[in-house]
Amino acid sequence: MLLENRVAIITGGAVGMGRGIALKFAEEGCSVVVSDIREVEGKETAAEVSQKGVEGIFISCDVTDSRQVNDMVAKVIDKFGKIDILATPAGGMPGVTPGEGIVNITDELWDKIVDLNLKGQFRCCRAVIPHMKEKKYGKIITFSSMGVLQAPHSMVPYVSAKAGVLGLTTNLAFEVAPLNICVNNIMPGAIRTHFYDSAIGTMTDKEKEDFFAGLARDFVPMQRVGTTEDIAGVALFLASDLSSYVTGVTLYVSGGIPMIPHPHDEPT
């Protein structure tokens, strides 16, 4: 098993990419702390983790609150004595409508989105680094967005925050590299999760299926929308010792984006 006897914190672990990562890590022998504000779904995911023969626990945590982040990390240390892996997919666009122009973005909305998507990841990294330094071992996986390179809509505060994650990743990786702590970034493309479904929530089921088919056809060179399993597999590589000499990098998990597809060409 690639993660036997490891302990991981997954923020946003209740649903979507976080849930997929939690279950993948559990299959590889990792104890998983599911951290989220969604208590019902978080406890369900933690129970699924435990069913795979490892320990899964849920800790309610809002990553926009430093106190909650610090308390969550303290609870993990108290229970397991260490933190080997941190993955930080928690994020979102509360209050932002895709395509909404910058003139409609208030200071308050900007701060809210940046706080969740950039500062939330910073808080989690800051909280776990001292414990990883003590063990001289750690794997941190941050999460950006392919929208930084190829935005399908105007989402200025969200994409700006996700661009900031790239700087956080490379500079933190440089800081902690001598301590055998690896910090890498996943840049997801079009991955079908609750994030996408909520953004198009007014559509009928048929309209949603047509939307995703068109998205794959027009924007994704591999001609399919990604899954949480696609993300989880890359996260497993970055969390395991298979990537022990990899730090400060961003991996596109995007089906070929930002390459431009040729929708009228037949595959050869």
Mind listing the pLDDT tens digit for each residue in 64-95? 999 999 999 999 999 999 999 999 999 988 87
Confirm whether pTM is higher than 0.75. yes
Q: Higher confidence at residue 154 or residue 7?
A: 7
Q: List b or e across 190-225, with b for residues whose CB sees 16 or more CB atoms inside 10 angstroms.
A: bbbbbbbeebeeeeeeeebeebbeebbeebbbeebb
Containing domain of residue 149, as a range? 7-191+227-253
Span 169-190, average pLDDT: 97
| Domain presence at residue 264 | no
| Domain presence at residue 116 | yes
Tell me: do 197 and 213 sit in the same domain: yes
| Residue tagged active-site, from 158, 196, 245, 252 | 158
The two three-digit tokens of residue 36, written as one number: 């989220």
Span 116-128, average pLDDT: 98
Residues in the chain: 268
Q: Higher confidence at residue 259 or residue 203?
A: 259
Tell me: do 41 and 119 sit in the same domain: yes
Chain CA centroid to CA 265, Å: 33
Please give the pLDDT value at position 199.
58
Question: Among this protein's residues, is 245 annotated catalytic?
Answer: no
Comparing CA positions, the residue from 145, 158, 157 lying closest to residue 185 is 145
Domains in the chain: how many in total?
A: 2
pLDDT confidence bin for 208, thresholds 50/70/90: confident
Please give the pLDDT value at position 155.
84
Tell me: do 186 and 198 sit in the same domain: no
Residue at 48: amino acid letter: E
Residue at 108: amino acid letter: E
Distance (Å, whole) CA 155 – CA 96: 7
Span 83-108, average pLDDT: 88
Q: Lowest mean pLDDT: which of 136-145, 161-170, 245-254, 259-268?
A: 259-268
